[in-house]
Structure 1
Amino acid sequence: MAAVNAPAAAELLSRPVTDEDESKRRLAYLLSRSLAAEGIGDELIDALNEVLDRPPLAPTCRKRDDLLARLGLPLPERRLGRPVPLSAGDAARIADLFRRTTRQLLQVVPHRVSVYPTEELRFLLALRDERPAAAEALSYLRRYALAILAVLDLMGDDE
């Protein structure tokens, strides 16, 4: 690292900013914005909604239900229906989309945040490398979707 003495620093700071410097700054800013816009498309939004809008499993308590049935009491009404299971093809398609989105976010995030979100990106990378069993696919995709949303929230809005 080179040391700069006071007269040299004063001379550097007194130089006017040229139009070329300003153009480079503006171009870098606009490129970072356009990268973010390319990474967040309708396909990703639809996949996030598809995963997060599925109703959770209805809580069941088999022992309680058996006890109520033996006593002749009615079983509690379950408002939440059993969700339509996520097919293996849909789970693979969504997981692949989330992995591609992770790759894009890793390139875009440094240009969009003032403080690098180390923990959020570490969690995103851990989810990218995870390969869940078929029975765990929906919960895995929900965690992945929430991690992506957390990073998108940190990046802020284009407007």
Structure 2
Amino acid sequence: MVAVEVATAPSRRQVAERDVAKRRLAHLLSRSLAYEGIPDDLIVTLEEVLSDRPGPAAPSRKFDGLLARIGLPTPRRRPPGVAPLSLEDSARIADRFRRATHQLVQIAPHRVALYPIEDLRLLLALRNQRPAPDVALSYLRRYALAIVALLDLMGDDEE
């Protein structure tokens, strides 16, 4: 029985050394991914989508000026419309968010304490959607908010 243990011992050490090297490499790669920063163009794209996009200005009424001079309140108006995105802008932003989703799926698990299952599931679901052009802005805003929520979970890069 001793001879069997001696005969198998060298192969165990070789496998163990390989496993240690693989574990070390996996650890270093995960740290590399975890410290990879979020590109500035993603932040700019998020701000572009989440900012107010004023639509056409509502025509001013002369009657409102008269009411203001008298001291009476002006009648309520509907909030201004939101300018629609062009097809090119919508496609560009959606492509940027899809690339960011790929990166975030790789990075986020290494940057959070608890694995963000629901947040990543939502990102992947949004990545796979192809909305109609008339609802592209609301889709992109939902996508941007999902990305912001995951970035918030990940915390600040400054540690």
Is TM more than 0.5 here? yes
Task: Give the TM interval when normalised to the shorter protein.
Answer: 0.5 to 0.7
Identity %: 56
1:11-54 CA-to-partner distances (Å, cap 9, x unmatched) read xxxxxxxxxxxx98x9567524432x0xx212111111111112
Contact 1:95–1:141, Cα closer than 8 Å, also in 2? yes
Partner of 1:31: 32
Q: Which amino acid aligns with 1:76?
A: R
TM-score w.r.t. length of structure 2: 0.65
For 1:56 and 1:129, locate their aligned partners in 2 and report how far apart those are by CA, in whole Å. 29
Please tell me whether Structure 1 or Structure 2 has the larger radius of gyration of its CA atoms: 2
Partner in structure 2 of residue 17 of structure 1: none
Q: 1:29 to 1:120 in 2, by over 3 A?
A: closer
Query: Residue 46 of structure 1: which of 44, 47, 58 is its match?
Result: 44
Over the aligned positions, Cα root-mean-square deviation in angstroms equals 2.5
Aligned equivalents of 2:92, 2:48: Cα separation in 1: 12
Asked if structure 2 preserves the Cα contact closer than 8 Å seen for 1:33 and 1:158, the reply is no
Number of aligned residues: 117
Aligned partners of 1:55 and 1:81 also within 8 Å: no
1:7-86 matched pairs, under 5 angstroms:
31-35=32-36, 37=37, 40-55=38-53, 76-78=76-78, 80-86=79-85
User: Which runs of no fewer than 5 residues in structure 1 stay unpaired?
Assistant: 1-22, 58-73
Correspondence 1:129 to 2:128:
yes
- TM-score, length-scaled by structure 1: 0.65
Deviating 4+ runs (over 4 angstroms) = 26-30
